Structure 1
Amino acid sequence: CPACFAQKTWGRPADGGPDIIVCADGNRQLRRFRGGVDITSVYEPEIFMTTDAVDAIGQEMTRLKTGRPADHSAARLSAEALERCKRSFKVADEDAAIVNEHLFDPTGVVVLLCRHDIPLFACDITTPGEQQKYVVAMLLELMKELPNTATIGLLYDIGCQLDHSCRLVSRTAYGYLGDALPRVIMGCSVLHAYGHEWSCQVAYNPRRREGFGLSDGEGSERVWSRTRREIPILRRADKSCRVMALDRKFRHCGETMKEHLGRWFNQKRKLLSFQRQRATQLQQDSGMSAAELAQQHRLQVAPRETEQTGKCQ
């Protein structure tokens, strides 16, 4: 994406507006029936990550989670609020059997996109539940392509759960994201954020957390809409043919969005003007100054005390 990666300087403060903003989402409709004959692939995917690479990240995450005590002092939400959010979303339960793995393999697809709805990376879901390893693997792969000072904002349906896990086990030069953790901020996709607990919305809603602006994190839904016709076709396709078809489809979606970047910027400029006028009017109607409203917001997003149980959530 030229609008994201054609920057000359990197390293803006994450909370003040990261260098790039990405979103991630999974689609269980793009699953494939087990069986059939697997042929040797001669196609090299440009977007899809290999299953072996993702599984290697998952094994390392498991080792970190079980091999060291959790640091609950870094959590932004209480354990009770996180547990209620986890019960609200099936995808938050990594062990939940959302799709029958005995009938389907792979069981879905996860994609990582920039804020302009251009796919950057994708990988197959090979587990019954949507585990955090898929998003972490793509995020780490993205970091390899960026300068060491680049800051990233990630929007994910259960960004609160992923951020909590990274904070529990990550410290300087160690953990899920290693020394890159301070350069990454996470939030929940705006449409899914309203299904979370209020305390979670205050901390992770992109409309409330500084740095995300008007990014909604729902670009994946627009990509899924463009791939809906491939669902029945690829349900019984060979694995290598399926990866090739999806990889080329995602690339086509990206090329189409690049051609319409000018229109995208024009639409966002109009939306920004409207939202600025609306915010000014709401502030005037409230009878409070901008400083007073900012102070109330800071009080709501202040880190909450959590129990030092020493157990990973």
Structure 2
Amino acid sequence: VCVDVQRAGPATGVPTKTEQGDLWQVLGAGQGDYPRIVVAPTNQLDLFQTIPELFNLCDKYQCPGLVLADLLISEGTTSIDPDDLDFKVKIDRGESILPNNSGNGADNGSGAIAANPASGYNDKAYLRYKNTPSGISPRAVPGVPGHIFTAATDEHDEDGTLISDEFTNPQKRRMMVEKRARKMEGVIKEIAPPKLVGPEKADVTLVGWGSTEGVIREAVEKLAAEEGIVANQLAIKWIVPLHAAEIGAILGRSKNVILVENNQSGQFARYLRSETGFAAHGHIRKYDGEPFMPHHIVEAVKSQLAGTTRLSVPVHEVNA
């Protein structure tokens, strides 16, 4: 699990200021296609509660996890009820093979533990990367007799044999790529889809990701109380895998959709469109190093509903 605390770039940029500018870096990190879980917690408490959940998912599905936080969360302050902090989260290591043929991964069906004592344990019988319907191969912890395997960065067969040199096998390569990809089918069933918060029928739906959840919530309240504008909110936390069907259905029913994010290029807007086919009707983007304030969003929504613009770029006010 890697944590990316986003701040204003590029390079050193403005290292003490916040931004949501690393989305595409995280989406494209690494070589080739492989499963990864990307999450953008909404606040400090959510970050505390999400990290253990992410560790369990990464252990179970044997894949990396990436957390997109930002300076607003990492250096911001908030009040938290101590009762909301759970220090006894159950650890789930996934399908494991442990000594004495124990563990929820049993023996992977190989029979390696019941080897002939005279000839030693049959390590070749253990398929560390066994092709399974879920894409998850039961993992033996170090030291389990009869379960030695090769772990390398090259592509491999089910037993760990490298297939990346002159003996490359196209069928085995395809099998392994598809095996890894199947893991995401299980992951998406375990993470909660985002829910629309507020009236079902609204003048505008404000969509955000990560740390914008709180300020959008305040802006929705102000729009109703001060401007008579009925708004609702969709806060997206789990980025990869994305609940594309559910999100697309919600946005497809919305009258006006405005996407709010702390970057210049509309990174999440592009990602959302690539995954769902939905293009937001309007955009509010802020990239001056400071976080959104509720009135920035309120004024931008008013301008966009009036038809004066489809892109609002509020700037943080500086007192002379």
TM above 0.5, yes or no, is no
- Looking at both structures, which has the greater relative contact order when contacts are Cα pairs under 8 Å and sequence separation is at least 6? 1
Between Structure 1 and Structure 2, the one with more strand by share is 2
Question: Which category describes the TM-score, using the shorter chain as reference length?
Answer: under 0.3
Q: Tell me which structure has the larger Cα radius of gyration.
A: 2
TM-score (normalised: structure 1) = 0.24
Between Structure 1 and Structure 2, the one with more helix by share is 1
TM-score (normalised: structure 2) = 0.24
